[in-house]
Each structure stands twice: as structure tokens, then as C-alpha cells.
A and B are shown apart, each in its own frame.
Chain A
Amino acid sequence: MNPSNEELKISMPQYFVLQMMVFGAISFHVYPWLVLQSTTQSYWIPILIWMLLGLLGAWLFSRVLALHQGKDAYTITKRVLGWPGVILFIVPLLWFMWSAMVIIVRAHSEIISMTILHSTPQWFLDGMIFIGVFLAFGGIGSIIRASVLFLLVSFPLSVGLVLLGFGDLDFNLGKPWLYTNGDFLTSPKFYTTSFIWAGYLYYAACGRYAKQPKKLWRPYTVAALCFLPLLAASVYQPALTFSPEMSRILTLPYISKMDSVSYYWLVIENLTAVFIVSSILYLFLLLALILNCIVTAIKAVFPSWNEKLLYVLAGVTAYAAIRLIPSWEWVERAVEWDTVLRLYLMYGFPMAVLVKSFISNKMRARQ
């Protein structure tokens, strides 16, 4: 009766919840700024392009996971590509996840100290990562259970904030609505925005609990569709309120937008605090998920290492790295620098695995 990890099964709605939390944790902060920076024409076009590309990546990735049902992506890579696969995939992925964790925690703590807690020291706020470690300790089952409750609290808050933000909009500011000259294609910011669509990479570890890994792209798609209105709102609401020119010079356009919302009947004056509070729940979950991925990856290479120790180690090293980040600008740049690696992991690696396994299947058939 005691469900051990072997018989643990995660249903598709649960994957959906995980994906929602991932979107929630990474989408509201740097993303609106990046999209606003990337183009001067219709913003929905770059948003939608990346969403479709994200769906493609998720589909590829679920094909990879379906190669060997019940195995995580690391084991599959090891089987298909052997040790080169470990170096070509697990090491970059580890670096990507670890750096993503560092950047996200730092971004959140910067935002908190910019908005509601001005004098609380950063080292204290960065300590949030240990709550993620604590959650990751419980294993993937505990993570999912917590995620459902977190989502029940934070998603209504996010939706409510978006709905409240519909005041004071001037739709003339969003013109041209249906036109683009493709200027975003030359902007590196456009490629950077891919970071919010990389959420399916976090299936690498927990994907093996799915009954049908082949269908794992579906919860991702549903979550993406659910979050698309929120993402669009996070880009458009500041642009339509402050004008795109002003939004571009704001560090956190969406948060400034929430500062500007005021209604007579609204009991809570400071909506930013509400936003921070909801995003902190997203953050804890994402951290736990990333830690789970990292530790699973290390265990795939060194199965004998102590799991708990690895969690603590990952948390402590990340904390140390967070402390080394000098400024908010550095966070923005780090997201940009990660782009190449991210694109490689999102598309290059699943393609490689699929092609390799396709070829070897062919070879076997010929023999």
C-alpha cells in the first residue's frame, strides 16, 4: 500500500498542474520587458510564434520519453547515445537547470526588494531556495500534491490581477494590431523569450511516471493555452496603459502596471504585494521541480550517491551562486546568454536522440 516510487503514477492533469506552476514562476517578470523590447509592431506575433515552437519542442521531447516507457530522459539518453549522450545532454542540461534556478531565485529576490521589502537584505531573501529544497525532499509525489494546492491559491490570484488590470487601457496604444515587419527576428531579445516555453524540459525527470509518455505534450499544450491570455496580458496591459515607449524603459512593466491600478472598491491598495505573494508560491514549486530534475540527473550518472545530500548540495551551491550575482542587469543578461544553450536543449537534443534511435532501429531491421 505504501506507494514506493516504482508504482507511482502521475496523471495527465497532474502534469498539467506542474506545467502551470512552471509557467507561473517564469513568465511575469522579465518576459514582458523582453517582448516589448523585441519588436515595435504587434506583440502577439512573437508571443505566438514561440508558443508554437514550444509546442513543437514539447512534442519532440515527449517522443523521446516514449522511446523507453518508465525511464527518465537521462536513462534514455544513456541507452540511445551512450556516454557521449551523457556529456552532450546531461551535462548541459544540468548546467541549464542549475543556472535557471539561480537566475529565477535571484530575479524574485531582486523584485521583492525592489517592491515590498526595501531594506531586507538579499542574502535573507535568497534563502527562499531552501524552502524549495525542503519541498524537493519529499519526492515527486509530495511536489505534485503541494503544486495542486499552490495552484489553487496562486492561479486565481494571477487571474484576478489580470482582470483588475483591464482598467485604464487605451487600445489605440496597441496599434498596429495586425502588422509586423519581422523586426523581432533580428532582435536577440526575441530568441531570449524562448525561456518561458522551455518548461517541458522539466519533464525530463518526472516524465517516467506517466502512463503514456507519448502524450506528455498534451498537458504542456493545455497549460500553455491556459497561460497564453495571462502572458498576453502581462505584455499588453503595460503597453496599453503606459504606452509602449514608456513600458520599454520600465524594468518590470507588469509590476508597474499593477502599481497603477486603483479602484475605489478594491480593499487591497497594493496589488504588487499580492502579485509577489502569488509568484512566490509558483517559485517554490519550480525550485523543487528543478532540484528534482538535477538530482535525478546526477543519480542517473552516479546511482550510488546519497539523494538527500545531493539536494542539500544543489541548494547550497545555488545559494552561493545567487550571492555572487551582482545586479538585476546581470540577471537580464544571463537570461540572454542562456539562449543558445536553451535552444540546443529544447530542439537539438531531442532531435539527436530521435534520429539516432530511428537509425539504429533501421539498422536492426536490416539485420
Chain B
Amino acid sequence: MELSKGATMLQHLQHTSSEFLLPRLQEAFQHAADFQAVCIGESDAGKLYLLYLTTLVGSDHFIFNVNRQPQDGVLTTLHSYYGTSYSAGDFSACEKAVCAGKTVLCTAESANGLILATENPQQRGLQQPQTENVIQGPMYGFIENYQTNISLIRQRMQTSRLKIWETSVGDLTNTKVGVVYLEGVTDPGLVQYTCGQISAIQADGIQESGELLRFMNPGSSRLFPAAVTTERPDRVTASLLNGKIVVLMDGTPFSIIAPGSFFDFWESPEDQYLTPLIALFLRWLRFIALMINLFLPAFYVAVTSVNIDLNRLEISLAAAGSREGVPYPVWIESLIMLFLLDCIVEAGIRLPRSISSTVTMVGGVVLGQAIIQANIVSNLLVIIVATTALTNFIVVDYQMGLVQRILKYFTLAGASVIGILGIFICFAILVICLSRIQSFGVSYLTPIGPGARIRSMSLGLIGGSRKFSLSYWITFGRGSRQ
């Protein structure tokens, strides 16, 4: 009975006279030191070989190599594979399989081989997400292993309607990419569009989901990230329920939630777990922080160099007093300070945690104090810049935080030419740029405007109950609702 199992397995091997698999594989992996071709015995069809990369296969599958008794038949040996999945494949499939850590079983004269799932990928254990910390909520994040990530999603959504479309991307790296969506909720057009975009990718290799994102949206903005990337399974499942698509990639803990909307970047996964009023407060806090971060340095420049009459006399006098002795124009002063601040932030990120706090200390406190005493910038500006830095860290999404760090220079430029009007012209240009972006064929300003994503509900500012959501009143859009 058991022996016949092994025999049927071997029946999948086809024999030909010309194109033998074994020598071709051996030739393909010629100078790969970790490639092994082991003869495990002889069957009716000839000698049986196992081909694999020693660095990738799991060692427990090769117990038979050690405790094999010479009198045992080959078929008994093969029995140890009973229960694992296997499939037959031709040369290219076998080559890919070996690269993926699988083992190929073939005879010396077979044209194809049996691919045995023996891979043992290297991975770390589940840990807390590094970039998106919440106080309350699930405490684990995705890891670099694709299978684990899928299983995390499956565990959170136990339904057969959760569909996964898989492919591999990159001519050389063959990275596995999966598109996860919820049938009946996600717009089928969106799924089709996304899968089409992924299939069309032409690249040697892709390392990270951010890179994948750019390949998927070739025409998108160079500044704004086209979609949210997250390492939180709860955020992924919430997005799936909301009708979005999730793209997972092997080798990175960051999954893409598509299509992205500018307002998604304000939302923290935590918002859904808190009481509505608190979530509302937090969102407004974040929104105001966004505004402060974008416009405060610009506003300072406008108010101290162009539109003096916009604020009270007392403030103008205080600003003038603090600027006494500062040799540079306001905008240069601000530029110096903002640049310095960005340097400090960047230095803090790249260093180990123990050192980074020292850097912040030295950079922030010591440098800040010294630069005022040296009369290079004014006191008021230090307050402004510190506030700007602080508000930048309130932004939930790391990518959007980076974008804002650039954009504040843009508004600063506008303000330093024509003051408050310049700030608003910059704002208008920003909005215009945003309105022209499409992420996965959907308006980037979803839920606003024609081409908005179907089932888009929240503008991010007023969430919770749909009746009270701002977008309930201004759902101008869904022009393309089907």
C-alpha cells in the first residue's frame, strides 16, 4: 500500500531520450557551491536523484540521508515524503523551485522532476510594528515572510470571500506578490486594474513594497506616496472591509493598501478602537498639526516681513525686538533654522537609539541655545521651528511626514515673496497637484470629486457614524458609481 504510493509518485516522471533534466540543472547551477545533487538509490526507472540548495532547504526533510539503512528500498525512503505536497515540473519550473528552496526529485533520464516542498525560509518571529505604534490594539505586525503575512490576515478574516491573487514579479528576483481582496466588497474593476498593473511590471527585481508601489503607478506624483503602506494586520483587514485592495510582497513587512487617498494618511489604526469623540478629537488634532506643520514657518515669515498689519502691534514689536541684531532677512533665517532642524531629525533616525537621544539633546538644546546667543536667528523663530518639528511627528504615516517636511519649504518660498497671499497660492497649487493625481485609477482626493473610490466614506476629519461624517454631506462624487 505504502510502496504503491511511492510508485505512483514516480509515475509523474516522464522519460525522454534527449532533454534530460538532471544534466541541465547541474549545468545551470554549475558554480553554485551550495547546490547538491544526491543519488538516493535506484528504482525501476533508474537512479533517483535529489537536487537542492543546501542553504535553503529545511534540514529535517533530510533525516533519511543520515539514518538510511542500505537494505531499505528507495521507495521506503520516498515514503518519508508522504504527506508533503509535490508536483511535477519541467526544467524552468524546477529551476525556479530549487531557487525557492524546494527539492527536485528526478531520475537520471527523466525530462521533468518532482518538486518537493522542503523550503525552510529564514524569518524572524512576530514583533510589535516598528513604525506604527498604538497604545491600544493588536500588538503584532507583519514580518518579511509572505506566507506568514497571509496567514495573519486569514486568521483575522475567516471567510471564504477573502481572495488572493498571486504572481511573481521581477525577472531575476522572482519575488512573490499577492493581491488580497474581499469578494463582493471590493470593486472588481479595481482588482482587475491592480492585477493588470502588477502583471505589466517589467523589472529585474523589486526589493520593497514602496518600490512596487511606484512600479504599479507609473504616472503618479513624484512627491506624494500613491498609497498607504502598513505593517499592521488590523489596519489591513479594516481596509479590506472598507473595499480596498491589499498588496503583499515577499521579503518586506510593509503591505500596500490601495487605492490611496490623501485623507487616509491622517487616519491612525487606533481611531477605530477609541470612543468616537476621542477619535474625532485626535483626528482634528492631527489635522491642525498638519496645518501648523505646513504653514507655521511660512506664516512667521509672512507676518514678520510682508503682512505686518495682520497681527497685533504688540506681537510685531516683540518680533522686531527679538530680531534686533540678526543680520539676515527673515526668510534666510528661517531657511537656516529649518534646514538645521531637518538635519537633527535625520541624524536621530539613523543612529542607534541610545545615541540618538544624545544627538537630539546636543542638536536641539545646545545648538538652539547657542544659535540664539550668537544672534544668528531670533528667539521667536526657535519657538516656531520647534513647534514645526513637533507637529511633524504627529503625522501618522511616515511617508507623508517626509512629504510634509519638503512641502514646508515650498510654502516658505511662497510666503517669503508675497506673504500671506503666497501661502495661499502655494496651498492652491498643492491642491491642484493633488487633484490631478490618480492612485490606482482612483481620485487621490477620495472621497472628493469624480473618480472617487466606491464605498469611500470618511474624509478623515469626522469619522465614526456615517450620518455625522462630513463626507456624508459632501459626497460630491462617486461620479463613477456603478
**Interface segment, B83-91, B364-372, B378-386, B419-427?**
B419-427
CB neighbours of B441 from chain A (8 A)? 1-3
Interface of chain B residues 415 through 433 with chain A (CB within 8 A)? 418-421, 423-425, 427-429, 431-432
- The interface on chain A, measured as residues whose beta carbon lies within 8 A of the other chain's beta carbons, has a size of 45
At the interface, yes or no: B126 with Cβ under 8 Å from chain A? no
Report yes or no: A131 in contact with B480, Cβ–Cβ below 8 A: no
Q: Which of A8, A10, A270 contacts B309 (CB 8 A)?
A: A270
Report yes or no: A14 in contact with B476, Cβ–Cβ below 8 A: yes
At the interface, yes or no: A227 with Cβ under 8 Å from chain B? no
Interface of chain B residues 443 through 481 with chain A (CB within 8 A)? 443, 445, 448-451, 474-480
CB neighbours of A153 from chain B (8 A)? 427
Bound CA span A143–B445, Å:
12
In the complex, how many angstroms separate the beta carbon of B293 from the nearest chain A beta carbon?
17
Closest B residue to A285 using CB positions: B428
Bound CA span A8–B450, Å:
7
At the interface, yes or no: B307 with Cβ under 8 Å from chain A? yes
Closest A residue to B262 using CB positions: A149
At the interface, yes or no: B192 with Cβ under 8 Å from chain A? yes
Bound CA span A350–B380, Å:
60
CB neighbours of A269 from chain B (8 A)? 309-312
In the complex, how many angstroms separate the beta carbon of A248 from the nearest chain B beta carbon?
27
- The interface on chain B, measured as residues whose beta carbon lies within 8 A of the other chain's beta carbons, has a size of 43
Report yes or no: B476 in contact with A148, Cβ–Cβ below 8 A: yes
Report yes or no: B311 in contact with A268, Cβ–Cβ below 8 A: yes
Bitwise, A263-303 to B at CB < 8 A (1) or not (0) is 00001111001001100110010000000000000000000
In the complex, how many angstroms separate the beta carbon of B355 from the nearest chain A beta carbon?
42
Report yes or no: A7 in contact with B480, Cβ–Cβ below 8 A: yes
Given known contacts A2-B441, A117-B418, A131-B429, is B435 in contact with A8 (CB within 8 Å)?
Answer: no
Report yes or no: A145 in contact with B435, Cβ–Cβ below 8 A: yes
At the interface, yes or no: A142 with Cβ under 8 Å from chain B? yes
Interface of chain B residues 179 through 219 with chain A (CB within 8 A)? 187, 189-190, 192-193
Bound CA span A73–B91, Å:
64
In the complex, how many angstroms separate the beta carbon of B136 from the nearest chain A beta carbon?
31
CB neighbours of A16 from chain B (8 A)? 476
Given known contacts A149-B448, A150-B431, A270-B310, is B476 in contact with A8 (CB within 8 Å)?
Answer: no
At the interface, yes or no: B156 with Cβ under 8 Å from chain A? no
Please report whether the interface of chain A is mostly helix, strand, loop or mixed according to DSSP: helix
At the interface, yes or no: A120 with Cβ under 8 Å from chain B? yes
Bitwise, B393-426 to A at CB < 8 A (1) or not (0) is 0000000000000000000000000111101110
CB neighbours of B448 from chain A (8 A)? 145, 148-149
Bound CA span A11–B475, Å:
9
In the complex, how many angstroms separate the beta carbon of B69 from the nearest chain A beta carbon?
61
Report yes or no: B193 in contact with A2, Cβ–Cβ below 8 A: yes
Bound CA span A360–B445, Å:
45
Interface of chain A residues 292 through 345 with chain B (CB within 8 A)? none
Given known contacts A14-B477, A145-B445, A148-B476, is B309 in contact with A131 (CB within 8 Å)?
Answer: no
Bound CA span A131–B425, Å:
9
Report yes or no: B429 in contact with A276, Cβ–Cβ below 8 A: no
Given known contacts A8-B480, A141-B449, A277-B420, is B435 in contact with A146 (CB within 8 Å)?
Answer: yes
Report yes or no: A117 in contact with B419, Cβ–Cβ below 8 A: yes
Report yes or no: A145 in contact with B193, Cβ–Cβ below 8 A: no
Q: Which of B307, B311, B423, B432 contacts A146 (CB 8 A)?
A: B432
Bound CA span A36–B307, Å:
31
Q: Can you name 25 A-B residue pairings with CB atoms under 8 Å?
A: A1-B189, A1-B192, A3-B480, A8-B479, A11-B477, A17-B476, A112-B421, A116-B419, A116-B421, A117-B418, A120-B418, A128-B425, A131-B425, A135-B432, A137-B436, A141-B451, A141-B479, A142-B435, A142-B436, A144-B449, A145-B435, A145-B450, A146-B435, A149-B445, A153-B427
Q: Which 7 A-B pairs have the closest CB atoms?
A: A145-B449, A145-B435, A1-B193, A1-B441, A146-B435, A138-B436, A9-B479
